[in-house]
Structure formats: C-alpha cells, structure tokens
C-alpha cells in the first residue's frame, strides 16, 4: 500500500518514537517490518501515517515490547 | 526513506560515529561566528526607544510610566490576549507561535489552586543572535514588565528567567535590574494578594539547543538543560506540572509595551498583515571571525537589503552583493538577488523558503565563502546535537560530512546529502535536526552557483581575498555613528 493510500485513511492510530530514549535495538522493526522501517543507523522510521487497521494489534504489541518504552501508539 | 526496510539491509548500516574524538577535550567545532559580547544596539521606535539613556528603572518608568496591576483597566488574560491578537503578536524565539493562543491556553488550564508559572526564555543559544542579550542589557525592565503583566493576567506568582552562562553581561544586567525592582518596591511586582512576585534566575549552559522549550523546562526542574521528548506543551504541563507560559524575552518585551501603552504604538508600524516591529541582528562574518553584531528594531516590511552592510563600505565588506543567511544557523540562504528583493516579513520570506527565525542575518564578508561558512556551521551544529537522539547524533555528523563532499566538489548536490537531509527531519526530541536540515537544503539551492564553481576547483570569494589581512577589530557596519556601542 502506498503512502498516499495510508494518508487517506483518516482516524486510525499512529506511532510515535521518543528518539531521546530509543537505543536502536530494532526490536520494533522486527515485530512490525511493514510499518516500521529502519534507517542506516538502525533507528526506527515511522512516517506519522495511520497504522493499517490489520496491523494495529501488532503495533500495540511492538510498543509494549520496546525495552526503552520509546515507542508509543497515539490514538487518533 | 520508505517504510518496511528489511532486516537484511541493515548489514550496510553505517558505522556509529562518535561525537567527540576520544582523548580530545573541548569542542572540535566552536561557533564559526565567535562574536563575543560587544554588540552595537541602534535606538529603535518602540522597544529600543531611548536605549542611549541607560537600562535603569527610573529611566524606564519616566519613558513608559508605571505598571500597576490592581488599577482599573489593567488587562486580565482575555484582555491581554485581545491586545496580542490586535498586533498579531507571534513568539520571537523562532517558532512564531501566536502569543494570544498560548496565553489563553495557560489561563484556561490554571486557576487559584494551580497557579500557572511564567518563564522568560533569554537563553539565546544561537551564537549569532544578540537580540535578547541586547534587550536585557539595554531595556531589561520592558522585558520584566511584560513578564509581570503576563503573570498577573494568568494569576502566576512566580516568574523564571533563563539567561545564557557565556553572556556574562546579560547575567549581570538581569541581576542588577531585579535588584532595582526589589529595592524600590516597584508596584509592577506586587500580586493580587499583595505578596511580591517571585523572580528566579536560571543560568543555561552554553549550548546551541539550550533555548529549546523542553531544555529550558529541564533546567528549571534542576536537571541538565538538555531537550527531552515531551508529549504535552509547556502551556499544558510545564514547571512542576503547572500550566506554564514560556516565551522568548523579545516576546515579553512586546507584551510589556501592550500592557503599558495598549496596541496603538505597535499598530503605527509595520504592515497591515504584520503590524509592529521586530528585532534583527546583523552579523558580518569576516575572515578572522566576525565584526561587532548590530541589533536593530525594525518595522515588519523593512527591506532586508537596508539592514546589510553597504557593499564595499569597509575592506571587510564584500564589494558586490552576496548571499545572506536569514534566520541564523537554523535558517535559510537567500541568493544576493533574493536578498535585494526580500523584506522582513514571514510571508515574504516564505516565498524564498526562508523564515525570520530569531531574526539573524548572517552576511559573508570579503573573502568569506558562503559554502565554507555553511560547512563550518554544520560542523558546529552536528557537535551541538545534545547527544540524546540517535538520528540526530548520527545523522547530523553524516550530513555535515556529506555536505563537505559537495563543497569540495566530490559529490553532486542530489547525492547522499539530499537523502540525509530528508532522513533527519522530525526525528529528534527537539527542532535541532529539522533546523539543520533546512540550512542544508537551502544552501544546496541558493548556493548552486558557488557549488558549480567549487566543482570545477574554483572559489570566487576566496580568490577575491585581498593580499593584506584586514585590520583587526575594525568595524564592519555602516552608520555606527548614531548607534549605541556596548563595548567593554
Ligand atoms: S524497540 Fe524501542 S528502542 Fe528498539 S528501535 Fe524500536 S523504539 Fe527504539
Ligand atoms: S534532537 Fe538532537 S539536539 Fe535535540 S535533543 Fe535530540 S539529540 Fe539533542
């Protein structure tokens, strides 16, 4: 699904990273590779677009699993 | 960068760069604009009226009258917000947030049981900016009156003022001004329950990001003044969890004017869209550092060119118009032609992808290459990353290196530098990566001719360098005669 399609889906949950806490363990990317990218240094890349509805459960699981509590699910 | 990068691609991950080389202490990249504290402050129409008379309280009261919070007609939060809306007052620290919105938000959240807190941010971490320093050294009571008026309006009993450690004269000037208010028992500092307003001074470490909102709140909380990730703005949860009215020192000076004189004086200046005045620091960057910065108060709509040194005015000023960096180290370059056209106005500057930021105009002098200057600024900014957020720590160093590859002609502007400039945006606890990215993107566009020249091994500004080195300490700015000099 392209970026524009995701943007078009209003009202979903989004992901937010606290980069001052994140230590690039990359666990979140492993749990949810379709939604959370990684940059060349291993830090997660989220684009602020709503998480696809069929991935919201995994997104919450990834946020819970983050060892640094750096990943947060923001409710719309 | 696209989503869904696969794990296998992490193999080519760049090595983690270290911010400081082991065994080497102190910054590797000090500010490329080492201006010191000698500043020229020109008298202005409103804030800087009569600066030559000195910063004392008696002079200030003679010029502006008394501020008496319990007098009939003293603006409450809503009245002050309406005044701020009339003059369309926006924050002057760089972000440009409407002051009325912030004020209302704080007033709504506060209350008798949870009195809000006021914070005056004069940390001015940007080394090239001198406007907040100029205000506190020349008209400190206007800033303090603005903070006091805002405090009374929202029912705050305490005001925190944050000043930069490296600007000793600002720290001294503020201490003197507060002592004078205390000793004279100035009515402006008496709250509704007849107790004195509590002023607290905090000294921020010399650091580019020290003035970021969250860094200021951290400092006040007694921690190191580094930016942190915050889920809520200061207006909602700031000092000790209280609703906090945190604004730049210049913003409070404008609030002071509104409380003392109403909206008319500001409405008499500027444009219909942007009434009033703003402070601008012009810095001429010379080969051996920087000429004394000039701080002016100008009406919105003033031409940018009129604030630049006249070409060839002194040996340090280039003889033809040069590109200008508007907005400081987090700002954007304008070509010489754009600078000739642009005015001091956020809408006008937006045409060129620039913004006024904290009002700094950086002008490369004779023999100073704008690309080389950008290179040095980027080195400084990369080192000033507060070391918290990975994408900022690693990204800004890589970005500075990639930009250096372009200025040395080894890479094209559309190469790695463009990708890195995009990757760091929005990925830090503060605006530092975004501002640094903006500088790079604007340099790649506005300095395209210079980049072309460098790619063929030539650098016109460097080649125009005079054989004799410039006289040390010579003034680089015109019209110094009518200006008030704050030399040591
Ligand atoms: S799991 Fe947490 S710490 Fe690890 S990369 Fe993701 S956000 Fe960062
Ligand atoms: S974004 Fe950069 S400067 Fe800002 S807090 Fe994070 S590491 Fe520090």
pLDDT at B472 over 50: no
The number of C-alpha atoms within 13 Å of B445 and in the hemisphere containing its C-beta is 14
How far B399 CA lies from chain A's nearest CA (Å)? 13
Structure tokens that stand for A26 in this block: 């990359």
Which positions in chain B touch A23 (Cβ < 8 Å)?
A: 390
Residues for chain B: how many in total? Answer: 488
- pLDDT score for B414: 87
Distance CA B95, CA B281 (A): 17
What's the angle, vertex CA B356, arms to CA B354 and CA B358, rounded to 5? 135
Question: Cβ of B229 and A47 within 8 Å?
Answer: no
Cα of A31 to ligand 1 centre, how many Å? 11
A29: contact with B, CB 8 A cutoff: yes
pLDDT at B462 over 80: no
Q: Indicate the pTM of the whole model.
A: 0.86
Question: Cβ of B389 and A34 within 8 Å?
Answer: no
- The answer to whether the Cα torsion of B5, B6, B11, B16 is positive or negative is positive
| Nearest Cβ partner for A45 among B3, B228, B392 | B3
Question: Cβ of A37 and B427 within 8 Å?
Answer: no
Percent of chain B exceeding pLDDT 90 equals 59
Question: Cβ of A39 and B388 within 8 Å?
Answer: no
- The answer to whether the Cα torsion of B44, B50, B54, B60 is positive or negative is negative
- Which residue owns the Cα nearest ligand 2 atom 4? B430
- If contacts are CB pairs under 8 Å, which of residues 389-408 in chain B contact chain A? 389-392, 394-395
Cα of A71 to ligand 1 centre, how many Å? 6
Q: Is pLDDT larger for residue B324 or for residue B225?
A: B324
pLDDT at B4 over 70: no
Residue for token pair 């990353």: B385
- pLDDT score for B8: 35
Percent of chain B exceeding pLDDT 70 equals 89
Question: Cβ of B13 and A41 within 8 Å?
Answer: yes
How far A30 CA lies from chain B's nearest CA (Å)? 7
pLDDT average, residue stretch B317-331 = 92
In 10 A of CB B289, how many CB atoms?
A: 15
Over residues B266-303, the pLDDT tens digits come to 999 999 999 999 999 999 999 888 888 999 999 999 99
A35 lines ligand 1 (CB under 6 A): no
Distance CA B19, CA B183 (A): 47
Distance CA B450, CA B459 (A): 7
Find the farthest-apart pair of alpha carbons in chain B and give their distance in angstroms, rounded: 72
- pLDDT score for B27: 57
Determine which of A24-38, B27-41, B180-194, B464-478 has the lowest per-residue pLDDT on average.
B464-478
- Which residue owns the Cα nearest ligand 2 atom 3? B385
- pLDDT score for B36: 80
Over residues B369-424, the pLDDT tens digits come to 999 999 999 999 998 876 789 999 999 999 999 999 999 888 888 888 999 998 89
**Residue in B43, B206, B227, B224 with CA at minimum distance from that of residue B139:** B43
Kindly identify the ligand whose nearest atom is closest to the C-alpha of B391.
2
Over residues B225-264, the pLDDT tens digits come to 888 888 888 888 888 889 999 999 999 999 999 999 999 9
Q: What angle in degrees, to the nearest 10, is found between the helix axes of B448-455 and B390-407?
A: 60
A17 lines ligand 1 (CB under 6 A): yes
- Which residue owns the Cα nearest ligand 1 atom 8? A22
Determine which of B170-174, B319-323, B376-380, B474-478 has the lowest per-residue pLDDT on average.
B474-478
> Which of B20-24, B93-97, B203-207, B373-377 reaches the highest mean pLDDT?
B373-377
B426: contact with A, CB 8 A cutoff: yes
Over residues B47-102, the pLDDT tens digits come to 999 899 999 999 999 999 999 888 888 899 999 999 999 999 999 988 889 999 99
| Nearest Cβ partner for B391 among A29, A43, A47 | A43
pLDDT average, residue stretch B102-119 = 90
Whether complex ipTM tops 0.90: no
How far B464 CA lies from chain A's nearest CA (Å)? 41
Which positions in chain A touch B1 (Cβ < 8 Å)?
A: 37, 39, 45
How far A53 CA lies from chain B's nearest CA (Å)? 16
The closest-lying atom of ligand 1 relative to the alpha carbon of residue A24 is 5
**Residue in B433, B2, B14, B9 with CA at minimum distance from that of residue A37:** B2
Instruction: Label residues B229-266 b or e (16+ Cβ within 10 Å = b).
Output: bbeebbbbbbbeebbbbbbbbbbbbbbbbbbbeebebb
> Which of B95-104, B205-214, B475-484 reaches the highest mean pLDDT?
B95-104
Which positions in chain B touch A39 (Cβ < 8 Å)?
A: 1, 391, 395, 423
Cα of A67 to ligand 1 centre, how many Å? 7
**Residue in B163, B206, B214 with CA at minimum distance from that of residue B383:** B206
Residues for chain A: how many in total? Answer: 76
Distance CA B324, CA B328 (A): 10
pLDDT at B3 over 80: no
Chain B residue closest in CA terms to A20: B389
- pLDDT score for B464: 63
């Amino acid at each position: 699904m392209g970026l524009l399609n995701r943007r078009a889906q209003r009202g979903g949950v989004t992901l937010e990273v606290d980069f001052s806490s994140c230590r690039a363990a990359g666990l979140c990317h492993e749990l949810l590779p379709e939604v959370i990218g990684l940059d060349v240094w291993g830090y997660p890349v989220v684009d602020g677009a709503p998480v696809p509805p069929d991935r919201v459960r995994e997104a919450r699981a990834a946020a819970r699993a983050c060892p640094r509590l750096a990943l947060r699910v923001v409710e719309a | 960068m696209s989503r869904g990068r696969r794990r296998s691609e992490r193999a080519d991950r760049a090595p983690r760069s270290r911010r400081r080389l082991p065994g080497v202490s102190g910054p590797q990249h000090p500010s490329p604009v080492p201006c010191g504290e000698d500043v020229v402050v020109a008298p202005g129409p409103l804030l800087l009226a009569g600066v030559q008379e000195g910063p004392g309280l008696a002079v200030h009261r003679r010029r502006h009258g008394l501020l008496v919070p319990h007098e009939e007609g003293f603006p409450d939060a809503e009245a002050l917000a309406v005044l701020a809306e009339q003059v369309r007052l926006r924050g002057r620290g760089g972000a440009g947030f409407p002051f009325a919105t912030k004020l209302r938000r704080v007033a709504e959240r506060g209350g008798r049981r949870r009195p809000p807190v006021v914070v005056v941010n004069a940390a001015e971490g940007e080394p090239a900016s001198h406007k907040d320093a100029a205000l506190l050294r020349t008209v400190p009571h206007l800033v303090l009156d603005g903070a006091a008026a805002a405090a009374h309006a929202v029912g705050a009993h305490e005001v925190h003022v944050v000043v930069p450690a490296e600007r000793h004269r600002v720290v001294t000037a503020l201490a003197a001004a507060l002592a004078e208010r205390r000793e004279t028992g100035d009515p402006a500092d008496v709250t509704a329950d007849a107790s004195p307003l509590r002023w607290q001074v905090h000294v921020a470490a010399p650091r580019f990001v020290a003035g970021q909102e969250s860094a200021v709140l951290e400092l006040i909380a007694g921690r190191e003044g580094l930016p942190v990730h915050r889920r809520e703005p200061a207006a909602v949860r700031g000092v000790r969890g209280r609703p906090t009215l945190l604004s730049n020192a210049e913003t409070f000076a404008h609030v002071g004017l509104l409380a003392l004189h109403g909206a008319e004086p500001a409405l008499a200046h500027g444009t219909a869209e942007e009434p009033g005045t703003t402070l601008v620091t012009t810095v001429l960057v010379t080969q051996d550092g920087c000429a004394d910065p000039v701080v002016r108060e100008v009406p919105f709509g003033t031409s940018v060119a009129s604030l630049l040194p006249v070409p060839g005015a002194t040996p340090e000023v280039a003889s033809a118009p040069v590109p200008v960096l508007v907005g400081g180290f987090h700002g954007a370059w304008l070509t010489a032609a754009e600078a000739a056209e642009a005015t001091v106005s956020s809408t006008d500057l937006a045409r060129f992808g620039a913004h006024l930021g904290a009002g700094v105009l950086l002008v490369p002098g004779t023999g100073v290459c704008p690309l080389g200057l950008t290179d040095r600024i980027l080195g400084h900014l990369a080192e000033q990353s507060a070391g918290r957020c990975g994408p900022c720590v690693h990204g800004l160093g890589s970005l500075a290196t990639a930009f250096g590859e372009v200025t040395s002609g080894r890479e094209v502007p559309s190469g790695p530098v463009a990708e890195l400039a995009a990757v760091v945006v929005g990925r830090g606890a503060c605006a530092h990566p975004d501002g640094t990215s903006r500088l790079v993107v604007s340099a790649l566009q506005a300095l395209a001719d210079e980049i072309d020249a460098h790619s063929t091994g030539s650098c016109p500004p460097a080649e125009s360098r005079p054989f004799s080195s410039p006289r040390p300490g010579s003034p680089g700015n015109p019209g110094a005669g009518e200006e008030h000099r704050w030399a040591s």
